[in-house]
């Protein structure tokens, strides 16, 4: 396994997870990009092994990154962490519709939806920047993608990461 940095605007400890399959009886896949992002651990593996890399976390899918108003890459894990304190939040999908514009579709339990909507707006502004234009839309439910999975964030017509090096 290897980690390839994803370019400008990203934390240097976050990169694409690339794997090489050495045990495949038909052929070896060299540096196969699985589409996930990982974060390097700043500490060695607690097991004592010192060969290879140690990941602190899986940060989400590369295709799901968004960017702050200053261009910094935001992973799904960072977005999840910024919304983790809202216990009434049962589902969300954030869409970045432009360089500084965001629409958060949220499912909320309980009757104090307006208070939570304001809190979610503030949390997203803290993550994406004070200049961010954030609209929160309350939804009854979230629909999964055609694959059956839920996509938590997307950036419409924005470049995600720099082109891969050859």
pLDDT for the residue 117: 87
> Average pLDDT of the chain?
87
pLDDT above 60 for 7: yes
CATH number at residue 32: 3.30.300.30
pLDDT for the residue 112: 64
pLDDT above 80 for 14: yes
**pLDDT tens string 98-148:** 999 999 999 998 766 677 888 999 999 999 999 999 999 999 999 988 988
* Position 160 in a domain: no
Range of the domain at 31: 2-155
Q: Bridge-partner residues for 61, per DSSP?
A: 36
Segment 82-97 shows an average pLDDT of: 93
Residue 80: what are its φ and ψ, rounded to 5°? Answer: -55, -45
Is residue 65 exposed (0-12), middle (13-18) or buried (19+ Cβ within 10 Å)?
A: buried
* Position 40 in a domain: yes
Q: Looking at the 3D structure of the chain, how many domains does it have?
A: 1
pLDDT for the residue 163: 47
* Position 162 in a domain: no
pLDDT for the residue 166: 41
Q: 8 vs 12, 14, 27, 33, 70, CA distance in Å?
A: 9, 11, 34, 19, 11
* Position 146 in a domain: yes
Is the whole model's pTM more than 0.85, yes or no? no
For residues 61 and 79, is the Cβ–Cβ distance under 8 A? no
pLDDT above 80 for 160: no
Measured in whole angstroms, how far is the alpha carbon of residue 80 from the centre of its chain?
8
The DSSP string of 52-113 is S--EEEEEEEGGG-EE-TT--EE-HHHHHHHHTT-TTEEEEEEEEEETTEEEEEEEE-SS-H
Higher pLDDT, 54 or 24: 54
* Position 166 in a domain: no
* Position 36 in a domain: yes
* Position 147 in a domain: yes
Give the C-alpha separation, 59 to 11, whole Å.
Answer: 11
Segment 47-73 shows an average pLDDT of: 90
Give the C-alpha separation, 159 to 136, whole Å.
Answer: 23
Segment 47-54 shows an average pLDDT of: 83
- Tokens linked to 52: 């290879």
* Position 109 in a domain: yes
Give the C-alpha separation, 100 to 104, whole Å.
Answer: 13
Segment 66-95 shows an average pLDDT of: 94
Segment 67-80 shows an average pLDDT of: 94
């Amino acid at each position: 396994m290897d980690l390839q940095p994803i370019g400008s605007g990203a934390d240097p400890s976050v990169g694409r997870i690339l794997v090489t399959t050495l045990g495949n009886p038909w052929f070896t896949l060299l540096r196969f990009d699985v589409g996930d992002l990982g974060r390097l651990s700043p500490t060695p593996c607690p097991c004592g092994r010192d060969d290879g890399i140690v990941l602190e976390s899986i940060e989400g899918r590369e295709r799901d990154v968004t960017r702050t108003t200053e261009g910094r890459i935001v992973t799904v894990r960072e977005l999840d962490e910024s919304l983790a304190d809202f216990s009434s939040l049962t589902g969300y999908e954030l869409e970045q519709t432009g360089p500084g514009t965001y629409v958060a579709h949220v499912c909320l339990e309980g009757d104090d939806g307006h208070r939570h909507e304001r809190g979610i707006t503030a949390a997203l502004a803290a993550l994406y920047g004070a200049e961010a234009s954030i609209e929160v839309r309350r939804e009854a439910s979230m629909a999964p993608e055609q694959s059956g999975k839920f996509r938590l964030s997307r950036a419409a017509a924005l470049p995600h990461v720099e082109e891969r090096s050859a």
